[in-house]
Amino acid sequence: MRIDTAAGSILCDPWVNPAYFASWFPFPDNSLLDWETLGDVDYLYVSHLHRDHFDAEHLKRFISKKATVLLPEYPTSQLEDELRELGFTSFFKTKSDEVHELDGGLKVMIQALISPTDGPIGDSSLWVEHDGVRVLNQNDARPTDLTRFNELGHVHAHMLQFSGAIWYPMVYELPQAAKTAFGKQKRDRQFDRTWRYIDDLKADHVFPIAGPPCFLDDSLWQFNDIFGDEGNIFPDQSVFMSEYAKVGGTNGIVLLPGSVTSLTDKSAETTHPTDVDEFFADKQAHLEEMRERKAPIIAAEKASWRHPEIDVLGEMKKRIEPLLEESIYMAQGVGGPVRFDLTDGFGPDGEVVESIVVDFPGKQVRPYADEKVRYRFKTGRALIEHLMYIDEGDWVNSLFLSCRFSAARIGQYNEFVYAFFKCLSEERLQYAEGWYDEHEKAVEAEDTVLGDWTVQRRCPHLKADLSRFGIVDGNVLTCQLHGWKFDLPSGRCLTSVGHKIRASKD
Ligand code: FES
């Protein structure tokens, strides 16, 4: 999205090239826009380092290096470092939750979220004000509430995510009926969360953005929401509009690549390059056309993944064992061995040629020894070879988001498994361990009353305000921010290990 004002233009998260092992593509396709012109901007805002927001190749080639980068306040310098490497030299370092006035009276505020589960250690939203018109590009960030933005005055346009952007539940080795049921729950939850945010901000106009991606490789094609599957977690903008109408929403505006909205404090006038309803009615045909056109890109990427000369076990040992040694919270949180079955293909299909265990209690990486494991991942050995080859420190922002794997687990979801594999560098591991340490120690003194129950006000997961996000049904509390459930009489979290809640009945 590009925001143009009389005091300058801001380009936000220009994503064009495929991300995550060529799995995700932007839909509708935006690669044919005039990027030379669009990239000639005064400011660049990259919300976070996820590869569907930070498109290095595109930033390098098309975005003016004269642009000043509006930088979120993150605990690590990785975003700035990577942008510098691409040739950007001018940085405006914002303070989270503080309004900054730039030239010409342009005001910006970036709220940075910094828990280990936000993006690749950091996700953010951009608030902009010029000439009395206010815009919030919430993007795919999940603030616990929107209070800080509300304090700054009525917002005229609210851009936010509404679709899924994860591998759950599709990659789990579950019976189809269970997958559909979990997917449906997730799809409903995503919409509930979106309605909650929209209702919180009460902007004049709502723009569904930041997703969903489309999948053009044959092995992932089934993830596109074109088969009438109610458990598909990737509903598109047209589905957003019909669901939004069901809850009374009348102020949604869908943008296609090339659409332009002129926004004032009184109106929003939008022009489109083509009819929006017709475009989405032809979605399957558009996807098929894209699949054909992008096939050479996928083939070229696949050809670069194999590095059979790499000793995967040896390299994993070298990289991961020192981190296991240092990890306290995450290693304890995982609490058991995690197994990687590596196939001779580019995903879970194919012959398993090697099985490796990351043994969290034993602090070792070693060959699988016919033992019971909590988590098992199955993926192509070529993908892990590639991760080793490029020295990737974040397997969430590469392997897991690619959906080119399958997973099985015993028991509940364990967020520490994914948090750990996001932190395969010294800097990130130290940061995440410190964050959990503080989080664990934080005393949650405040309570709130929900129905007959008095519960701690902040969700034990990521501190959502339960007076807004909590819903009690019988003895079960659901926090709508990420959909976690808690059994109130025992306090037990029903969604993930740990995370007990304090609750009592009046
Ligand atoms: S904050 Fe994530 S479920 Fe409550």
For residue 479, how far is its CA from the centre of ligand 1 (angstroms)?
A: 6
Q: Does residue 442 register a pLDDT over 70?
A: no
Distance CA 54, CA 274 (A): 27
pLDDT tens per residue, range 150-201: 999 999 999 999 999 999 999 999 999 999 999 999 999 999 999 999 999 9
Q: Under a CB-based contact definition with an 8 Å cutoff, are residues 187 and 235 in contact?
A: yes
Q: Nearest to residue 250, comparing CAs of 206, 200, 196?
A: 206
Q: Is the dihedral of CA 373, 376, 381, 387 positive or negative?
A: negative
For residue 231, how far is its CA from the centre of ligand 1 (angstroms)?
A: 21
For residue 256, how far is its CA from the centre of ligand 1 (angstroms)?
A: 32
In which band, very low, low, confident or very high, does the pLDDT at 75 lie, cut at 50, 70 and 90?
A: confident
Q: Does residue 443 register a pLDDT over 60?
A: no
Helix/strand number for the chain, H first, E second: 15, 26
Segment 336-365 mean pLDDT: 97
In which band, very low, low, confident or very high, does the pLDDT at 144 lie, cut at 50, 70 and 90?
A: confident
Dig out the tokens for 110 from the structure: 């970036």
Dig out the tokens for 318 from the structure: 């070298």
- pLDDT, position 141: 95
Cα distances from 205 to residues 74, 119, 198, 327, 398, in angstroms, run 29, 26, 10, 45, 34
Question: 2-297 and 312-437: same fold?
Answer: no
What residue ranges line ligand 1, CB within 6 angstroms? 459, 461-462, 464, 479, 481-482, 484
Ligand 1, atom 2: closest residue by C-alpha: 482
For residue 459, how far is its CA from the centre of ligand 1 (angstroms)?
A: 6
- pLDDT, position 437: 81
Q: What is the DSSP letter of 321?
A: H
Best residue among 461, 485, 493 to mutate for probing ligand 1, ranked by most atoms within 8 Å of CB? 461
Distance CA 30, CA 15 (A): 8
Q: What is the pTM of this model?
A: 0.89
DSSP string, 331-375: HHHH-SEEEEEEESSSSSSS-EEEEEEEETTTTEEEE--S---SE
Assigned superfamily of 312-437: SCP2 sterol-binding domain (3.30.1050.10)
Segment 231-258 mean pLDDT: 97
Domain 442-505 listed as CATH 3.60.21.10: no
Would you tell me how many other CB atoms lie within 10 Å of the CB of residue 330? Answer: 26
- Hey, where are the domains in the chain? 2-297, 312-437, 442-505
Segment 27-35 mean pLDDT: 97
pLDDT tens per residue, range 263-322: 999 999 999 999 999 999 999 999 999 999 999 999 999 999 999 999 999 999 999 999
- pLDDT, position 444: 63
pLDDT tens per residue, range 84-132: 999 999 999 999 999 999 999 999 999 999 988 877 778 999 999 999 9
Q: Does residue 469 register a pLDDT over 90?
A: no
Best residue among 481, 493, 499 to mutate for probing ligand 1, ranked by most atoms within 8 Å of CB? 481
Query: What is the CATH code of the structural domain delimited by 2-297?
Result: 3.60.15
In which band, very low, low, confident or very high, does the pLDDT at 454 lie, cut at 50, 70 and 90?
A: very high
| Residue 131 parent element (H or E) | none
